[in-house]
Each structure stands twice: as C-alpha cells, then as structure tokens.
Amino acid sequence: MITVLWLSLAFAPGAEVRLPEPPLGLDAYMPAPEDNPLAPGKVALGRKLFFDKRLSRDGTLSCATCHDPERAFSDGRALARGIGGAEGPRNSPAIVNRAYGASHFWDGRAPTLERQAVEPILNPKELGLSLPELEKRTGMKSGEVAAAIASYVRTIRSGASRVDRYIAGQQAALSETERAGLQLFRGKANCVACHVGANFSDEQFHNTGVAWRDGRFSDDGRFAVTGKAGDRGAFKTPTLREIARTAPYMHDGSLATLQEVVEYYSSGGRPNPHLDPEVRPLRLSADEKQALVAFLKALSGEVREGWR
C-alpha cells in the first residue's frame, strides 16, 4: 500500500493533507454528504449511468462524451458539444478530484455534485432530457440518478504524480528543469496565488481577463450567479492535476497549449475593470517559461475511478 503525500504548495508548516490510495473502502477517507454516503453498489450504478447514452435525448451522447477517461475526464474540445452538434458557451472542465471541490461548473452555480450531475442531462444544449423522460428511461427518481452519478464522480481521482513523489522526499522524481519550474510556481510566477493546496486550486473565482474582448465581457462568468459587479468575468480556478492531458485551456478553450497559458500570464493577462490584482506582467524569460511548463507536465499522475 502506497500513501500519497499531497502538500499545499504554499508550504505553510503543517499544511499536509494525507490521502491513502485505493484499494481502501472509499468511504473511509473520501468526503461525501450525510444524505448520500458512498457505497459500492451506488458507485457502480453511477458509473453505468455515466456511460449510458440513454441519458441523451437522441441516444448519441453520455456524460463520458464530455468527460472522457482517456483524456483525464475532459474532451479535448475548445467548447462542449451537445446533442445535434449544439455547441455550448464553455469548455468542458476535467472532473478529477471533484469530491474535494467547494462548488462546480466554471461559474460555481452548483453547490453540490448531486446538482452538477443532473444539470447537463436536463440542459437542452447538452443531453436534452426532461425530468419525466429521465425517470422513464432509467426507472429511477431523478434524485436517485443524481445521487448515483455524483457518487461515481467522487471516486474519480488523480494523484501519485512525480510532483507528489518529489514533495514526499524522492528528490530524483523531478528533473533540474522541473525543480526550477516548481520554484517559479511558488515564487516569481506567483501561481500559488490561485493554484494552491492538494488539488492545486483555491476553489475561488478570478477574473484573469480571458473573457474581456473588444472592450466588453464575452461571458459574465460568476456575475451571472452572484449579481456582484466584481464577479464579472470571473471563473473558478481549475485543478492543475493532469493539466497536460486536458487541453485546450481556460473557460472558453481559447488557449491551445500550456506554452500559450504561461505566455498569457507572463504578459499580464488582459486588463479590464475587474482584473484580479494578482494578475500582472511577470516578464518571464524563455528559459523560465520552459521550466514552468515542464513542472506543470509533471503534475500528471494516476487517474483512478470507481470502487477499486
């Protein structure tokens, strides 16, 4: 049995979070709400539903269409695609380690995985079912469907990356260039301002300027949920785990590579009235950009799912 040591990259004393790897009973260490505890049968049912194309109106798509296990549960597209080829307004985020998330979707509109699980099924541009049709096709109440899928999603987890091994004391796990990238991540590049903790996300919302186009916001982001002016153009900080496998990047999939992402932040983002104060020109050198990308790639590890 291996124990993965996940550390906050803010490196505050005592900031360790220890998560044992499977196979242990998942309910022994994975958070789940009291009204939807994890259980092997429920996880298995949720997995079956996750891949079931009957959950789309025309029987062509499933949850796994946008969250493909072969792509670390993302889809490789700039924008999500639903039934009939309908294109959504945002990128499909990777759903690894969402059991530890504070809210869900790019704008955080779903406070629980149970709500997140059913919303795409009912969205006319995604899977496009009605509640009565969902219950008819599955022979289950919609709440039971949501509980099962949410339980399965809680078991999708990434860990055991080379970064984890390095932080756990295996100095040879990272190359010299990757270690330089780690120092930049902590320091000059200031990535830890948002990408902090075991999941490399503060679970907060930030305006980095990506949505600012031609003097206006192309997407209001978190503002649509809160109505707060300061939330215009703000989006949830995504996890960086498996980031090398989940291109393209940003809420709109507008940056195709990690090199483009690093270049974007090095230049200071896109100034606008609500730009996060942590986003500012970094003026990274070519070698520094290369080192930071190398470090980010080292965050790929093992992705596991299901009760195993």
Per-residue pLDDT of the chain (308 residues; tens, 9 = 90+): 223 434 334 333 333 334 434 333 334 468 899 999 999 999 999 999 999 999 999 999 999 999 999 999 999 999 999 999 999 999 999 999 999 999 999 999 999 999 999 999 999 999 999 999 999 999 999 999 999 999 999 999 999 999 999 999 999 999 999 999 999 999 999 999 999 998 999 999 999 999 999 999 999 999 999 999 999 999 999 999 999 999 999 999 999 999 999 999 999 999 999 999 999 999 999 999 999 999 999 999 999 999 86
What is the predicted pLDDT for the residue at 308? 67
Helix, strand, or coil (residue 86): coil
For residue 30, the model assigns a pLDDT of 80
Which pLDDT value is given to residue 143?
98
Q: What is the C-alpha to C-alpha distance for residues 74 and 76, in angstroms, rounded to an integer? A: 6
Tokens of 244: 């090398």
Q: Return the pLDDT at 307.
A: 83
Q: What is the pTM assigned to this prediction?
A: 0.91
DSSP 243-280: GGGS-SBSTT--B-SHHHHHHHHHTT----TT--TT--
Q: Hey, is 50 helix, strand or coil?
A: helix
Name the amino acid, one letter, at 69: P
Domains of the chain: 3-157 (1.10.760.10), 172-301 (1.10.760.10)
Report the run of H or E that residue 80 belongs to, with start and end.
none
Beta bridge partners of 5: 18
